Chain A
């Protein structure tokens, strides 16, 4: 079945460091891919998405490219801030609006 695997955390970085969170997927067909972020005590928020191969999603300095040949959708940011500390979830679209999530990666950024 469809599944998402993302790197285990926690990831600890200093402010202004480069961030990569790896995400790979297994899917039949051509799913859409998403990154969601969960700040402490809050629900999930869509960070970015890509709907077809080679699409690049971007938002708030974060980017991810839909790579069909490597079945990957790695999240990157060139310079993280303390306010980026959160849990990041990679997800792919299932049937209807159902989402299949990875286990989540906790990012902690210190000043």
Chain B
């Protein structure tokens, strides 16, 4: 069974640009969550999608957005990039929604903003 696939693995963007990251969940998983990992703030929850609907959102500015398609694949978009957006962005998929459900993580997309 293929794991969670994130593309691209590495990305370099310039301040002010926008970026789109992609996540393909494990086949059959309908829940996708996104996290930002930085050395200073650690792992922070961005948002969660389930059956194409955003179910939860973390405390991030509106420049961070996402969506989920009917095949459960998800994208997240960051507009007007800032230097502080440099981070590892992790996607996680789950088969169900709920507090006991195991989340399976991808390897992440390393975004560098210059």
Where the two chains meet, the residues of A that have a C-beta atom closer than 8 Å to any C-beta of B are 31-32, 36, 41-46, 49, 51, 89, 93-104
Contacts and interface: CB of A to CB of B under 8 A. Distances in A.
Given A31-B99, A46-B102, A98 B33 contact: yes
Contact of A97 (B4, B33, B44): B33
Interface of B: 4, 31, 33, 35, 42-45, 48, 50, 55-56, 58, 90, 92, 94, 96-108
A102 B42 CA distance: 7
B103 to A, nearest CB: 6
- Per DSSP, chain B at the interface is strand
A36 to B, nearest CB: 8
B103 A46 contact: yes
Nearest to B107: A43
Nearest to B41: A103
Contacts of B96: 97
27 contacts: A36-B105, A43-B106, A43-B107, A43-B108, A44-B103, A44-B105, A45-B105, A49-B100, A49-B102, A51-B99, A94-B99, A95-B55, A96-B31, A96-B97, A96-B98, A96-B99, A97-B33, A97-B92, A97-B97, A97-B103, A98-B33, A98-B48, A98-B56, A98-B58, A99-B35, A99-B43, A101-B42
